[in-house]
Amino acid sequence: MMIENVDSFKKIITDNYSFIITTHRGPDGDAMGSSMAMYNLLVNLKKDVNVIIPNSFPNFLSWLPNIKNVINHEENNSDISNIFSEVDVIIMLDFNDLSRIENLESYVTNSNAKKILIDHHKDPDLSICDLSFCDTTYSSTCELLYMILNQAKFNLTKNIADCLYTGILTDTGSFKFSCTTKNTHISVGDLISKGVNAAEINNLIYNNYSHDRIKLLGHCLINKLKIYNNSSAIISLSEDELKKFNFKKGDTEGIINYALSIKEVIFAVFIVEKDNIVKLSFRSLGNINVQEISKRYFGGGGHFNAAGAKSDLSLDKTIKKVENIIKNEFS
C-alpha cells in the first residue's frame, strides 16, 4: 500500500540538518520504539538529532539502541529552549494532540521549525504540523513509520528494525489484539529478515519482572480484581498500594490484559492512583468501542479496543463511576 507525501518526507529529512524527536508523556513501547528508530536513522544519515520526551520510559525498554541519549525533560533541569528555537525539524510521534506532550507543548508551539506528525490514533489535530502521516488502520506508529521509511528507501539497519519491531510487538499485545493485520505480519517478517531476533526481544520486554512487580501482579489478581455480570472487570490500585510494592515505572504494564483474558470478560478497566492523579486504561474485545466510552465519560481517547483517560474524581469515586458505566452499558 503506497503512502502519500513520502517524497516530501524524504526531502525534508535529506535537506535539513538538525532534528528533534518527541513523543507523548508516559511513553510506551510504540512511542519509544518509533522515536529510537527515527533517532538511529538520522544518526546514520549524519544529522544532528535530539530525542526529548516529557518524562521517563519503562525500564523494560532501557535496552533499545542508543536510548541512553534521550533527554527526559522532567528529570533534566537544563534549558532546552535553545535546542527548540534553533532546530530545523521537529518530528512528533505517537500522539494526536500537543496536550499529550504536556511540559513540552509550549516549546513545540513556539518553535519555527518544520513539524512532522506520524501517528495512528483517531482525530489528529493537523493544525500542529506542516506534514502529517496519520492512519488508524495501522497497528502502531512503528508499523506506519516502517512503511514510510521502507517506501522512502531508507536503509533500515538491525538497530532500526529492533526499535520498530518493539513498538509493533507491544502495541499489538504480542500480535493478539484485533489491530494486528496481514500487513502487520508482512512488515514484521521483513524486519526479522533485517536481523531482528524476535525471541530475544520478547525476552527483554516480557521476562524481566522484579520480585516486587510479580508480587504487585499477584496482589491485583487476588485482592483487587472485581468481576461484574460475568462480562466486565475492574482492577484498581491506590498510591499507597503502589508504594507498598516499591512501584517502578512499567510495573503495571499489561495488568489489564489479565482481566480481559478471563473467559466471557469482554470489557476491562484498570484504575490507578499515582502522584495524586487517577488514570484509567480501558480494554475490550469484539465490537465494544472503548475509545468512545473513555471519551464520553472521561474525555479520554485511544483506539476502538484500547483507550485511556484521566479522572478528576478521587479513586473511590472513579471506581464508582466506572461501576455505573458497566451497569448502564453492559447490564
Q: Which CATH class is domain 211-330?
A: alpha beta
* 57: helix, strand or coil: coil
Residue 1 has pLDDT above 80, yes or no: no
Helical ranges in the chain per DSSP H: 6-15, 29-44, 81-86, 105-110, 141-151, 158-171, 182-193, 198-206, 211-219, 239-244, 255-260, 290-298, 315-330
Would you state the pLDDT for residue 273? 98
- Interval 249-258 mean pLDDT: 94
Per domain, the residue ranges of the chain are 6-206, 211-330
Would you state the pLDDT for residue 104? 96
Q: Which CATH class is domain 6-206?
A: alpha beta
Rounded CA gap, 30 and 240, in Å? 29
- Read off the pLDDT of residues 100-125 as tens digits, 9 standing for 90 and up: 999 999 999 999 999 999 999 999 99
At 204, the pLDDT band (50, 70, 90 cuts) reads very high
- Read off the pLDDT of residues 67-91 as tens digits, 9 standing for 90 and up: 999 999 999 877 899 999 999 999 9
Would you state the pLDDT for residue 127? 97
Per the listing, cell 521537529 goes with 90
Rounded CA gap, 42 and 40, in Å? 6
Residues in contact with 273: Cβ distance below 8 Å, sequence separation at least 6, in sequence order: 237, 238, 239, 242, 315
C-alpha cell, 213: 512487580
- Read off the pLDDT of residues 320-329 as tens digits, 9 standing for 90 and up: 999 999 999 8
Residues in contact with 187: Cβ distance below 8 Å, sequence separation at least 6, in sequence order: 143, 146, 147, 168
- Read off the pLDDT of residues 135-183 as tens digits, 9 standing for 90 and up: 999 999 999 999 999 999 999 999 999 999 999 999 999 998 889 999 9
